Amino acid sequence: MRRIALSGLLAATLASLPLATLAQEVTLDTAQGPVTLPATPRSVAVYDMAALDTLQAFDVVPTGTIDRILVPALQDAAPGATPVGTLFEPDLEALAALAPDLVIVGGRSMTQLAAVGQVAPAIDMSLGPDLLADARARITAYGTLFDMSDRAAEMTATLDSRLEDLRDAAEGQGSALIVMTNGPKMSAYGAGSRFGWIFDATGLTEAVPGLDDASHGQAISHEFIAEADPDWLLVIDRGAAIGADGAGATETLASALVEGTTAWQQDQVILLDPAATYISAGGYGSMIGTLDLLTEALSDGTDS
């Protein structure tokens, strides 16, 4: 990380920042607890893709964001924004030059809260394992922050409607196994994991209860999938999400063992949008897209 800014441009910029005005203040629920801030910030730097996703739904355009946005649906969410580093390493010099009213971190960038907080007011809007509840809370918080509570209520109502459609489609559809591929490697995720919200959203049962809920999941093999024999196989291709070279999910899964499962035989393998599920999960657009994809696939399963 470049630290010259802390003794040079950063110090000068901090000294030149305007004093707080009489702007109305609001209190938001964040991942670190309630935080009181001036309402309707005009310049916002965003280091979290779920936050960028939800802000896009509010038509809020950040003035600063990360150097490289991997989520295709978000690549035009901040046109003209100043690059201010990466999710893991903020460029404090660029951030200080931007002098935003607010900085938003979350997820992969949450550990940088203190660093960016040297430059401007900062909040951690990470999403926890209860992704559905946290996604609703973030929509409400952004609606309050930007004086768009009516818009937030509409977005929450749409989310709830999509969830109801999904649960109807998933009723009686049996078990599921969530698998993430990473080149030739595979991991499975259960109800208590980062992708456990899918079980909550669908009502599908776990093909293998009690999986390790570590962030990287439980390492598995083709034999594991065959023994689990899920009715539905839900697949996330991490390599595709981050633009890595190597084997894709379909190639990694290909084996007589996997092809003998109920999910494969019944054409009940769902390839989830990798970026929306792995990088921007919990963002409004990503949530709606994933719910719609699952609803369509499970509805086809009902008809088959």
CA–CA dist 226, 85 (Å, integer): 43
pTM of the model: 0.90
- CATH superfamily, region 171-301: Nitrogenase molybdenum iron protein domain (3.40.50.1980)
pLDDT computed for residue 13 by the predictor = 47
| Cα dihedral: 96, 97, 102, 106 (round 10) | -60
Please answer whether residues 231 and 173 qualify as being in contact, where contact means their C-beta atoms are separated by less than 8 angstroms.
yes
Q: How many helices (H) and strands (E) does the chain have?
A: 15, 13
- Residue that is written with structure tokens 């959203």 in the block: 201
- Residue that is written with structure tokens 């990466």 in the block: 86
Please answer whether residues 119 and 248 qualify as being in contact, where contact means their C-beta atoms are separated by less than 8 angstroms.
no
Within the chain, which residue ranges are assigned CATH 3.40.50.1980?
27-147, 171-301
- With a pLDDT cut of 90, the percent of the chain lying above it is 87
Per-chain mean pLDDT for the chain? 92
Neighbours of 137 (CB within 10 A): 19
CA–CA dist 299, 170 (Å, integer): 7
CA–CA dist 52, 58 (Å, integer): 10
What separation in angstroms does the CA of 53 have from each of 23, 139, 160, 232? 26, 11, 18, 28
Please answer whether residues 38 and 96 qualify as being in contact, where contact means their C-beta atoms are separated by less than 8 angstroms.
no
Per-residue pLDDT of the chain in tens (304 residues, 90 and over written 9) = 444 344 444 444 444 444 444 569 999 999 999 999 999 999 999 999 999 999 999 999 999 999 999 999 999 999 999 999 999 999 999 999 999 999 999 999 999 999 999 999 999 999 998 999 999 999 999 999 999 999 999 999 999 999 999 999 999 999 999 999 999 999 999 998 999 999 999 999 999 999 987 778 999 999 999 999 999 999 999 999 999 988 899 999 999 999 999 999 999 999 999 999 999 999 999 999 999 999 999 998 654 3
Q: Note the CATH number of domain 27-147.
A: 3.40.50.1980
